Amino acid sequence: MSRIFPGSLLLLWVAASTGSAQTAPRIPETNVNSWWTLAIDNPVKGALGFHFETSARRSAFLDTWYQLQFHPAATWRFSPNRVGTMGYVWMRNGRYGEHPVAHPYVEQRVYAEFRLRQPIGRVELEHRYRFDHRYLQNYTFGDNYYWRRQERVRYQAKLSVALTQVDRRGRQWLAVGGNEILLHVGPNHGPSIFDQNRLFVGFARKLGQDRKIEAMYMDQFKFLHDGTIAELDHTLRVQVSLGLHLLRN
């Protein structure tokens, strides 16, 4: 574990240095968004599990639809604090903001992920490492388009602090916060390796052993349109997480 966290700090430093080194003029844009997510985890057999997630994302808070995601995945629990994931994402992106894309478009993604939890008393630090292999729909003219491949690496550090003791029903209040950095790797990503940064803080409510609701404010900064737009989004993130246990060992 001592080797993993310093490497994560180095990744954050490289991303910040790269983003600040870009000197090309960019057009600023600010939006107020909301993300509404349902996440379901289900054990299958032994260490094998199934994860499904769907997310509806709105701009102008609730007024304009801009993204819809469906996200099935298989998980493997190496230990109580180490989980690997292989998954697929289907995503439709709409037009929103002051500088919208010319056409709504679809992205398909295959990803690999590793999560490491470090519980320390009432505090838990979670590291999430993810590699995205992406295919993005690019329109040329009319209804014609082609698929463009991109790769991306992501690192998220998330801190959870217990504010209350767990009661008899398994309920508990937590404060949560963290940051995720997303970087392009490989070809076809434009002039900068920086994709976006997500800084978030909020509260979570455990409703039992495997049920939780999180509500957070997120400051999302990203480059769009080959780096010509610098977008800052103030976002409400609400997520309901459930463990269904439909299939037992």
Domain count, the chain: 1
φ, ψ of residue 16 to 5 degrees: the values are: -65, -40
Q: Please check whether residue 189 lies inside any domain of the structure.
A: yes
Predicted confidence at residue 142, as pLDDT, reads 78
Q: Please check whether residue 248 lies inside any domain of the structure.
A: no
Q: Please check whether residue 40 lies inside any domain of the structure.
A: yes
Domain that holds residue 230: 4-21+31-243
Distance CA 221, CA 16 (A): 12
Identify the CATH number of the domain in which residue 200 sits: 2.40.160.40
Predicted confidence at residue 246, as pLDDT, reads 58
> What SS3 class is residue 13?
helix
Predicted confidence at residue 24, as pLDDT, reads 59
Predicted confidence at residue 17, as pLDDT, reads 45
Predicted confidence at residue 241, as pLDDT, reads 96
Residue ranges of the chain with per-residue pLDDT less than 50: 1-22, 248-249
Distance CA 194, CA 187 (A): 13
Q: Please check whether residue 249 lies inside any domain of the structure.
A: no
Q: Please check whether residue 123 lies inside any domain of the structure.
A: yes
Q: If we measure between CA atoms, which residue out of 62, 98, 68, 93 comes closest to residue 235? A: 62
**Beta carbons of 204 and 229 less than 8 angstroms apart:** no
Q: Please check whether residue 238 lies inside any domain of the structure.
A: yes
Q: Please check whether residue 26 lies inside any domain of the structure.
A: no
Q: Please check whether residue 51 lies inside any domain of the structure.
A: yes
- pTM equals 0.87
